[in-house]
Amino acid sequence: MQHEFSIQVSPETASNPELLKRSVSKKNGIPFHEISHIRILKRSIDARQRQIKVNLKLQVYVQEEYTDVPIPLPEYPDVTNAPEIVIIGAGPAGLFAALRCIELGCKPVVLERGKDVRTRRRDLKAINRDHIVNEDSNYCFGEGGAGTYSDGKLYTRSRKRGDVQRILKLLVGFGATDQILVEAHPHIGTNKLPGIIAAIREMIIERGGVIRFNSRVVDLRVKNSQIEGVELKDGTVIDTRKVILATGHSARDIFELLYKKKIAIEVKPFALGVRVEHSQQLIDQIQYSCEVRSPYLPPSPYSIVKQVDGRGMYSFCMCPGGVIAPCATSPGEVVTNGWSPSKRDQPTANSGIVIELKLEDFKEYEKFGPLSGMYFQKEIEQKAWMLAGETQKVPAQRLQDLVEGKISSDLPDTSYKPGLTAVDMKAVFPEFIHQTLQKGFSMFNKSMPGYLTNDAVAHAPESRTSSPVRIPRDRVSLEHIQIKGLYPCGEGAGYAGGIISAAIDGEKCAEACIQTIKKIMD
């Protein structure tokens, strides 16, 4: 017999199967010896009180044996000779679109401007050590997209957009731990995700799909408002009437191309700010109300939102036990982001602290039309590069100094490997952003006493939170509102905000695309 229970226990009990079994037996009146197995379905931590508790949803097996059944992958058919769909971009949207194409009987041809997930590491090393930015292979571009080497967070609020559990189960099938099905805020880790991405690629190729690396798309061939093909940087032209455009939030050349060809795009608000690093020990002390974190608790995250003079200021992509990485996609700019390994065992914690931008903030850039937000973003990144010494060093300021408007007389070492340059953030950002940061951090400190400290360092800028452009599409067909056969997809098109939502959107676009193919064939 199986029973489902929700229970709240101490972190130690949650971590110890024997103690958990005793707790379930006592609280639910089930004889201890009759409980054959306890399966944890969901787990979350409640740290709102000094006495920290763990919330568990359990499946309890009473006088019944438990058999662990692996989560299977779908039966992917061989699509070697099936109708082709070109997918531009091998991030989560592109890869999951490709898998769904195969599942539904079409052949994906994936064009990725960057390198495969392993080879890509050399370019990440070059940007960290030598300050060399490869425009086609970096933290944003390459197999797996921006998420692969920037943490692998799987938490999403986009449950109305599609089946989150389906995507999580597919990731488990390709090698992720099944704990991502359990945790309230699942996370794979930057050290684990590359292997999963490689397994997805191998499946795509094994079942007859095609993935071409170092294949940067430089033109879209359009005739009579119908997509007719794509042109690559090396001059290759691929004829196709179906293109899923999944290039990510940093593919500025694609946005420029669409604008140049008078293919409709729209300016989209996004958020921008700094990435702040504290010691993980301090965050644990604040969040867990302790001197030393219990060995039964994970490194603590935090989430904070404030309204500052009518603007939202909030934490973004918080990385407990993580590091800050250089995420520029072109020479002459600096960009920050954060990531954590699977164990989240680094001594530092970092988070983007970003400010909500509005369309009126881009008025000075109106001459760029729908690219006004992108040029606003780009100018800050280029200014930061110049201020920090025209390398991949970033402008930095101790947090208390930022609030007080003082250039830091010295800077501690942080996890950001290329290095720091002491700069007053007032020189990096427009005045309204700088003032919002100053006021907001003081407000943060009231909610998290101890947060505002000069032991914490702000790194600038955190600017690639989401796409500054939306590529409009029909709500039903998901085709571009102007170009038949073109399916704007994922983060870059403005329809997703992370690995899971991008993967869901990739699947939706593949389904919509295949539906039109089947209509033609019928």
Average pLDDT over residues 215-220: 98
Average pLDDT over residues 405-428: 97
Residues 6 or more apart in contact with residue 228 via CB below 8 angstroms: 221, 222, 239, 240, 241
Q: Judge whether residue 174 has pLDDT over 90.
A: yes
pLDDT at 160: 59
pLDDT at 158: 57
Task: Give the span between the Cα atoms of 478 and 100, in whole angstroms.
Answer: 16
| 217 close to 88: Cβ distance less than 8 angstroms | yes
User: What is the token pair recorded at 216?
Assistant: 């940067």
Confidence class of residue 518 from pLDDT cuts 50, 70 and 90?
confident
Average pLDDT over residues 171-187: 93
> Quick one: which H or E segment has residue 378?
helix 372-387
Average pLDDT over residues 378-395: 98
Task: Give the span between the Cα atoms of 89 and 99, in whole angstroms.
Answer: 13
> Cis bond leading into 461, ω under 30°?
yes
pLDDT at 50: 85
> Residue with structure tokens 């800028």?
461
Q: What angle do CA 247, 252, 256 make, to 5 degrees?
A: 110
Average pLDDT over residues 94-107: 98
pLDDT at 156: 67
Pairing verdict, β 243-245 and 84-88: parallel
Task: Give the span between the Cα atoms of 427 and 430, in whole angstroms.
Answer: 8
Pairing verdict, β 243-245 and 336-339: unpaired
pLDDT tens digits, one per residue of 146-155:
878 766 678 7
pLDDT at 159: 55
Task: Give the span between the Cα atoms of 516 and 522, in whole angstroms.
Answer: 10
Q: Judge whether residue 254 has pLDDT over 90.
A: yes
> Residue with structure tokens 């945790």?
183
The answer to whether the 2-62 and 84-266+471-521 domains have the same CATH topology is no
Burial environment of residue 444 by CB neighbours within 10 A (0 to 12, 13 to 18, 19 or more): buried
Query: CA 323 from chain center: how many Å?
Result: 15
User: What is the token pair recorded at 278?
Assistant: 């504290």
Average pLDDT over residues 198-206: 98
Return the domain boundaries, the chain: 2-62, 84-266+471-521, 271-462
pLDDT tens digits, one per residue of 279-336:
999 999 999 999 999 999 999 999 999 999 999 999 999 999 999 999 999 999 999 9
Task: Give the span between the Cα atoms of 277 and 314, in whole angstroms.
Answer: 15
Q: What does residue 385 show for φ and ψ, rounded to 5 degrees?
A: -60, -45
110: nearest Cα among 122, 101, 119: 101
> Residue with structure tokens 């420029």?
256
Cα dist from 451 to 68, 122, 345, whole Å: 44, 36, 20
User: What is the token pair recorded at 414?
Assistant: 């942080």
Q: Which CATH number fits domain 2-62: 3.40.50.10610, 3.20.20.70, 3.40.190.10, 3.30.70.2700?
A: 3.30.70.2700
Task: Give the span between the Cα atoms of 357 and 430, in whole angstroms.
Answer: 12
Task: Give the span between the Cα atoms of 25 and 36, in whole angstroms.
Answer: 11
Task: Give the span between the Cα atoms of 355 and 428, in whole angstroms.
Answer: 14
pLDDT at 352: 97
Q: What angle do CA 352, 410, 318 make, to 5 degrees?
A: 15
* CATH number listed for the domain at residues 84-266+471-521: 3.50.50.60
Specify which residues 84 forms β-bridges with: 107
Mean pLDDT of the chain: 95
Task: Give the span between the Cα atoms of 43 and 297, in whole angstroms.
Answer: 12
pLDDT tens digits, one per residue of 363-380:
999 999 999 999 999 999
Average pLDDT over residues 248-273: 97
SS3 state of residue 491: coil
pLDDT at 521: 67
Task: Give the span between the Cα atoms of 136 and 218, in whole angstroms.
Answer: 12
Task: Give the span between the Cα atoms of 90 and 98, in whole angstroms.
Answer: 9
pLDDT at 4: 94
Residues 6 or more apart in contact with residue 496 via CB below 8 angstroms: 93, 158, 490, 502, 504, 505
Task: Give the span between the Cα atoms of 367 and 106, in whole angstroms.
Answer: 42
pLDDT at 190: 81
